[in-house]
A and B are shown apart, each in its own frame.
Chain A
């Protein structure tokens, strides 16, 4: 085991090369609905139990199924209203289980990035070959279902190995959502040397972290989104920032919660200098326009630090 993941060095927020988003936007804003499938009876991973109850884990399974039966279409209506295209963090097996949901996202020109096969299959304990096969399966499944190869990754249930990001870069990926160390994209060092970036995804504004882990009230969640936006919008006047709201429709789309989310979305999209976009568009824009300058700055500073 390593003390440091090794994907990036210390690169302080101050005095970085300025990020200029399209049309002078201050914030690149994206919403990432997690569209997931959890299995009722998955194999037991030796490192992490998929469910807290013995089979059948009705409480955990059924509320997640609620997201698919009730939640996605409810949130979709809200995102449509504010012209937000979702960037879907997709359990690839959902292409087989629930193609109707995939079709609704495709009709809206949403992005799909991969989130593994099932959210009940963890990376823990996989050999490198197994993990590569799992990621490749997810990429190919999504490509076959939506007609475009996904270039972003969020590991299933945020379960990783030491080589997860290296493998995804080798399989043609451009960006990962797995790192929470920054409010701007970061060039990552991957073992194959590919041009590859981390795109800020936000654990703190993730509805499931907010509601399930931190147990906050719905209206406070809406306020947190607005507060985060205000700060990133202000700082974005100096250099472009990224703001993401990751969601799970078994949480945010419950009837006592969706209005607070909608009000926050209305607030964010009501500002003039916001680039409402997708994860892929941020990654591609950054790679084309900011990446080289960022790498040069990191390299220069690294030398100054005697790395």
Chain B
């Protein structure tokens, strides 16, 4: 007989009603008051474009993020393939969005302000809400990061991004959607109003921090271009089909349950490739042709959501 597990393995201190933590209230989507989007739209659609820098010499600490260098140094193939997104892919994106009259938001690694100010200026000129996306794809906000270090990181990233863009930057997407135990508090202390890291819902909800509440506005990973095409290795055409299937499903569900939200997370280094861009355009054309869709920025979605479903009601 081997040694049994420690007794703590059969103790359940958080076995209680609701969640096993105090970050947000337990609530089922189908039980909430219906949401009314502007102009009676059925589905709000939010496209987010992540602009990222993957250092050639990542520390990989405390964790290595998806998309990081994976070959022995210097991993030129992955470095340049990611950099392709910032040089080429993003401009294909901007043309495609402009052609279909849709404005995405941009989550930007702040180091790009220093590295590629021309890119930042092009994004500002294009318009579209700007979200903080930490410093680079080698600054994960994960357990193991010291609080003081993370505070400095968030403050530096936001000051840099706000400084160059002149945008208020009220939203945040953590690289790899990772967080440390302190991330929500630190974001709130830096005038962030919402983050997109917790993928547990399809509508916004209130997220509690010791420094005040935030909105959690989930940005789907399951439908993300990188996740579907590179991790799942589905074809580009299949990705477009899946996004359209999701969109049609939510249009149907909205009939009886009130406004729904489709979120599409994009990376120019993935869908900006010449063999993939037309599949993004297929999605944009499909959504743009649907009168029941409302393409909107995350802040506009949050404003509309909080206007029709007060936070207290949103959690039943």
Contact = CB atoms under 8 A, between A and B. Distances in A.
- What class of interface size applies to chain A in its complex with B? 35 or more
A91 B30 CA distance: 22
Interface in B1-48: 1-6, 8-10, 12, 14-21, 26-31
Given A40-B21, A46-B5, A97 B26 contact: yes
Contacts of B243: 256
Contacts of B2: 125, 127
Contacts of B198: 58, 62, 65
Contacts of A66: 199-202, 218
A108 B142 CA distance: 42
A96 B14 CA distance: 10
A132 B176 CA distance: 40
B26 A98 contact: yes
A270 interface: no
A246 to B, nearest CB: 19
Contacts of A59: 176-178, 199, 221
B101 interface: no
A69 B32 CA distance: 11
A70 B1 contact: no
B17 A130 contact: no
Q: Which of B8, B143, B253: most chain A Cβ within 10 A?
A: B143
B98 interface: no
A109 interface: no
B190 interface: no
Given A218-B245, A254-B222, A68 B28 contact: yes
B142 A63 contact: no
Given A43-B9, A69-B29, A259-B249, A53 B142 contact: yes
Contact of A217 (B8, B21, B180, B242): B242
A65 B1 CA distance: 36
Contacts of B76: none
Interface in A121-139: 121, 125-130, 133-134
B27 A69 contact: yes
Interface string A211-255: 000010111000000000000000000000000000000000011
B138 interface: no
A292 B26 CA distance: 48
Contacts of A275: none
Given A55-B143, A100-B28, A43 B6 contact: yes
A140 interface: no
Contact of B143 (A54, A63, A218): A54
B95 to A, nearest CB: 26
Given A45-B5, A255-B249, A62 B14 contact: no
A203 B198 CA distance: 28
B contact face: mostly helix, strand, loop, or mixed: loop
A97 B17 contact: yes
Interface string A14-45: 00000000000000000000000101110101
B108 interface: no
Contacts of A61: 200
Contacts, number: 157
Contact of B223 (A45, A256, A260): A256
Contacts of B180: 56
Interface residues of B, number: 62
A74 interface: yes
A298 interface: no
A39 B11 CA distance: 13
Contacts of A255: 202, 245-247, 249-250, 253, 262
Interface in B177-235: 177-181, 197-202, 218, 220-223, 231-234
B80 interface: no
A127 B4 contact: yes
Given A59-B199, A73-B29, A97-B17, A127 B1 contact: yes
A166 to B, nearest CB: 15
B163 interface: no
Nearest to A251: B222
A93 interface: yes
A68 B6 CA distance: 29
A54 B18 CA distance: 23
B238 interface: yes
A96 B15 contact: yes
B97 to A, nearest CB: 21
A125 B5 contact: yes
20 contacts: A37-B20, A39-B14, A55-B143, A55-B181, A58-B178, A58-B197, A58-B198, A59-B177, A73-B28, A73-B30, A74-B253, A93-B15, A96-B15, A97-B20, A125-B2, A126-B4, A127-B4, A217-B238, A256-B223, A257-B242
Interface of A: 37, 39-41, 43, 45-46, 53-56, 58-59, 61-66, 68-70, 72-74, 93, 96-101, 117-118, 121, 125-130, 133-134, 215, 217-219, 254-260
Given A125-B9, A217-B234, 11 more contacts: A43-B6, A59-B221, A63-B221, A97-B19, A126-B4, A130-B10, A215-B231, A255-B247, A256-B223, A256-B243, A258-B249
Q: Which 4 A-B pairs have the closest CB atoms?
A: A54-B143, A127-B4, A65-B200, A256-B246
